[in-house]
Structure 1
Amino acid sequence: MSVSARQEPSALVLPPDVRAPEAVVLVLHGGREHGESAPRAWNLAGLRMRPFVRRIKRAYAPRGVAVAQVRYRCRGWNGARADAARDAREALDQLAPRIGDAPVVLVGHSMGGRAALRVADHPSVRAVVGLAPWCPKGEPVTQLRDRDVVLLHGDLDRTTDPAASADYAARAVAAGARAGLLLMSGGDHAMLRRAGAWHSLTTRTVGGLLGLGPLPDTVARSLRRHGG
């Protein structure tokens, strides 16, 4: 087969044994502002999400929840191209016929959080959990109407701005989302400080958003809906 005839790898990474799940958690790792080369298979941003994948699987796979991941074609966002969001939407399109009406919760870190928030208007998506998300000024929010949006951000983050996440959450509420920000005291961008708290809170939040248990009290208190 010629190089030009080869197919690009799928944007969706889903275990082959998944059949008719009750729900799906789609995980999106971080990246860079610019970069057109493909991420390496064992890139650090991807490895950072593995503990989240393991915890969510352990907690909810017995209850019919599948965990999938987005495979990026490029390691960067790349300006108006928004490559990570394009890949996220393609992954959702590939996932939809396999899961029917099952709801999807997106869990994205940094650039992956930005991509998850951008594609939250996809019909399969019920909610988004953004971990230290990259929310630049002017980032759109209208696509979040009628979605649940939980942003977790370390107060010591020096890579993405917790204040920007607060502004984004407020604008999301004004656009009709049920949205909130929870600051992780002592948390950094890489989610290495207090890693266990990040993993536990994210897992319990996912379960609450899927109706598989109560939302953590701190998360529930942070959520607001426009006019609510």
Structure 2
Amino acid sequence: MASLLILRHAHEAFGHLLPLEITDEQLLSGADAGSMENVGPSVSYIPGLNALSRLFMIWHSSQAVTTQSMDNLYDHIVQAQRLLEDLPPELTWQPPHREQFAFNVQKVNLKVTQLHIRSNLLEQMNALAKYQHMRATPDAIFNERHRVVEELLDVLYNMPEEVFDANGYSIVPKIRDIGGALLDELRTGPQDLNLQASINLDKLLAKLDSLDQRIMVQAANV
């Protein structure tokens, strides 16, 4: 049987392609998806999957422009921030994290992916500011980068490392990439931020070292 692959652009509507956010009980019982009435005590993992898909679409949308601009980059940073503000309670980032393990895995994946997107968009803003010889904007970019790193440290130090293991190898490169931007801040950022950036980098490297060791142990046991 022949199959057809349809490629879609970032600006195209895709909401109808996402799976319905229903529970396993609703799916197995044949409940009316339009009514979305709960037929069991469990909750669905699909909202987390859909939120992650929307994050990736925000990233692709941010790059789907002929000429990049500060307004476009900033608008997509705001979109990424707002997306995680409108999630079910079990996916909301609010320590301590005592929910089911699977939801904590989703929370880490969503949060680190969002931070990675914000960090990359900030780096593009920084490069554009330098290209356009802006003076005031880079300080605001460094401040926002500092907030991204603080939020990342919150994730790293408030979640058990087992949660990061469950996310596989994809999560560590994102963390390392954000750390690389922080290292750049130490070289080029405002002097009054350098001390805190240095402290944050030490914390980040300590966690990365621990996660890397866990990955090596897991690989050796395979």
TM-score norm. by structure 2 comes to: 0.32
Higher helix share: 2
Question: Normalized per residue, which structure has more strand?
Answer: 1
TM-score by length of 1: 0.31
